[in-house]
Amino acid sequence: MKIRSEKGFTGIDISVSVIIVFIFITLISVLVYRVNSTSKEISLRSDATYLAINEIEQVKINGIDAYLGMNEESGPIEENVEIQEGFYKTITVMDYTDIPGNEDATSDIVKKVTVKISYMFQAKEQSVEISTIVSKES
């Protein structure tokens, strides 16, 4: 009777172990990539929101006088300017009378100001948009 020695590993044992380790390493690397990507996206969106809020506050500080007569000839006014590396702002100013349903109102009393902050993330343009209404002070 021959007793077989069970010392050491066979080729199949090593192959299965390598495949299992490879699968776990792949899953962990995908998970780390997604966490980093989501973190970067949240950071960019947060920065864009912060910039948009600052622009809206600046619009409120400037008041309606800074925007009077801006859209009489060409419709809504837009400017697209890089405000920080990778972030672009577009400010749209519309008179209240240009908004559908408000044609009979007096012009240059109320303006709707929309601030859009655009940025690139994963080769796609993302944006944050905030609007406010600015009225003439009496």
Tens of pLDDT, residue by residue over 53-69, are: 998 888 888 777 766 55
What mean pLDDT comes out for the span 79-95? 79
List the structure tokens of 59: 């619009």
List the structure tokens of 12: 């199949």
Q: What is the pTM of this model?
A: 0.69
Residue-wise pLDDT for 9-26, tens only, equals 678 888 999 999 999 999
77-117-68 Cα angle (round to 5):
25
Residue 78, pLDDT > 60, answer no
What mean pLDDT comes out for the span 26-45? 96
Closest CA to 66 of 105, 88, 93: 93
In terms of phi and psi (left: phi > 0; alpha: psi -120 to 50; beta: otherwise), the region of 113 is: beta
